[in-house]
Each structure stands twice: as structure tokens, then as C-alpha cells.
Amino acid sequence: MDVKELEKAFEELANRIVPWSGKPLKQTLLDLYKTTCPCCGNTDADIIYAFWVKSAICTDPTCRKQVPLFGDYVVAQKSPSIRYYQDVSCPKCQKTFDWEIEPASLIAEQSLTVVNNVDGAGVGRGNKRWAFATAEPVGCPWCGEQVRPKLALGKTKAVRKKVPLTVLLCPHCQSVWQYRGTVNDHVACPACKHEHNPRKGNVPQSGKFVCPHCGKKDDILTSIRSLADDQTLPTSLYGLHGYCPACGKGKGDDDADQEDAFDTNLAQVPQLRG
């Protein structure tokens, strides 16, 4: 088939009106992947990714609990490049910090962020303190006062730095949270304080799982065979990655995947359509 004819056929299909919705097929399908933005409450946020996990059933007859088959608890990793003013000083306490004028975040709930005190300020910035504000006043990270920062001599233009961000899932309370900087082997969930190694899940090797409830190491295939003939391993949705056009209004392409995009717990999402 000619490529142009194929594209024309797809276009006609996309624009075909669906009787039950009264809208073109393309719009009807897109409307099924909408949610409410947990940042601003916009009900027209787009779902980009839905995160699902299968669970095995422990074969110990005294346990028989579901075990989510996570190889690790790292949901996403990214190092966005943000603009900032380097080494500004606070007129109140005279101490210096980075004034970030673009957000560095991959999650909706900012209180669920843990910072590595060694390199959380960004690549090349070490343990420098920082504050985020798109405009003055700025909350000084040292004294807490709202101030008009004094730009450093010779550093009056905003520059860029990369900030390593990792979205993690807590195996205890299922919270989706963020780690800023290099992720340590030992972390504590900011929601429930559960301590764990985010790189070690319930799947120590291919085809195996370890039940966190009774400690039994088992085969996934054995778990499947223990189910009734009409049963399959349960699957559950544990998080969403979305885009909010309201939060992203007026931003350039460099910002399109930062503040206006979000990873969120299902508990934060008031509704899923469809």
C-alpha cells in the first residue's frame, strides 16, 4: 500500500465519529486516559504512563499472601537541567546559596522528597544549599527569611545545572516519593519512615521470588501452578505519570517535562476515567 494512502486511512479512522460519545475516535480514546492533576486540581490532565505490577501468591499454606514482583523499587530516574543563580547571598544572614528559578522535581507532592546531603544541590554543586522561587522574594535556606538575594559579583546571569532525581516506591506503604541526589543503599520513606534498600525487591533472580511475610523463597511458576485453572497472577496499578497542560501553560520545551509532569500515588488521584 502507498504510504500516503495509509496515512489518509489512519486520518479518516481518527476522525470517524463514535456513536456513543459523539466525538471523533481519536478524541474518544484520549478522553479515556485523563485524570485529575494532584498539583492544581485540573481535571483534564493526561495520563502518560500507568505503572502496573504482577504479584505472586506465596505457596506456604500458612501464608498464601500476595507478593508484588518488584525487582527493585526504582520507578524512574532523570537529571533535568534547570536554570539558577549561583552563590547568591542572603542580606539577612549573609550566607550564600543557589537560587533555583526552575523546578527540579518529578513528583506532585513536594513534601515527599528526600535530599542527599552530599550531592543534592546538583552536579558539581556538592552539598551547597539552595532555594527555589521563580521570582523574589526567596526563602533563605539558612535563616528562613523571605529575602531579595544579592547576586554574586561576576555571576549575574542564570546558568544551568543538572539535578539527579529518582522516583522510588515504598514497599511498606506504597507511597511514590522522590530522592534528590545520588540514591543510597539505605533509605527511609518520608511518608511512613520505613527503611529499606531501594535496589533490592522481592525478585532476587529470574523466575524466583521471596515472600516478605514468611521469608520463603519460591518459584513464580510454582505459584502459578498453585492457582485454580481459571485464575491468573493478580495485577495492580500502583502509580501514574501524567502531564498537566494547566501547570505547563506558557512554559518552553525545556520545562515541559518538569513541573507540569508528575508521578503520583493512586491515593492522590481523585478520579480515573474509563
Q: Domains of the chain: which residue ranges?
A: 31-71+201-268, 80-162
223 confidence band (pLDDT: 50, 70, 90): very high
Q: 173-210 burial string, b = 16+ CB within 10 Å, else e?
A: ebbbbbbbbebeeebebbbeeeebebeebbbeeeebbb
Burial of 153 (0-12, 13-18, 19+ CB in 10 A): exposed
The chain-wide mean pLDDT, for the chain, equals: 89
Share of residues in the chain with pLDDT > 90 (%): 76
Reported as a single tens digit per residue, the pLDDT across 158-167 is 999 999 999 9
* pLDDT value at residue 77: 93
Q: Which of 23, 44, 51 is nearest to 263 (CA)?
A: 51
> Which helix (H) or strand (E) is 81 found in, with range?
strand 81-89
The number of angstroms, rounded, from the C-alpha of 38 to the middle of its chain's C-alpha atoms is 12
Task: Quickly count: other Cβ atoms within 10 Å of residue 229's Cβ.
Answer: 4
Over 80: is that where the pLDDT of 273 sits? Answer: no
Q: What is the DSSP string of 245-266?
A: TTTTTT--GGGTTTTTEEEEEG
Q: What is the reported pLDDT for 1?
A: 65
The model carries a pTM of: 0.80
Q: Please give the pLDDT value at position 263.
A: 63
Q: Name the percent of the chain in helix, strand, coil, to the closest 5.
A: 15, 35, 55
Kindly report, residue by residue over 70-117, the tens digit of the pLDDT.
Answer: 999 999 999 999 999 999 999 999 999 999 999 999 888 888 999 999
Mean pLDDT score, 242-257: 61
Hey, what's the cell of 252? 518552553
Of 34, 251, 265, 35, the C-alpha closest to 167 is 265
User: Does the pLDDT at position 252 exceed 50?
Assistant: no
Could you tell me the three cell numbers for 85? 543563580
Task: Find the mean pLDDT for residues 229-243.
Answer: 90
**How far apart, in whole angstroms, are the C-alpha atoms of residue 158 and residue 83?**
6
Segment 214-231 shows an average pLDDT of 95
pLDDT of 15 above 60? yes
Q: Which residues contact 140 (CB under 8 A, 6 or more apart)?
A: 90, 92, 93, 95, 97, 131, 146, 147, 149
Give mean pLDDT, residues 17-35.
Answer: 93
The predicted model gives 223-236 an average pLDDT of 93
Strands 96-100 and 130-132: parallel
The predicted-structure confidence for 117-142, as pLDDT tens digits, reads as follows 999 999 999 999 999 999 999 999 99
pLDDT of residue 93: 98
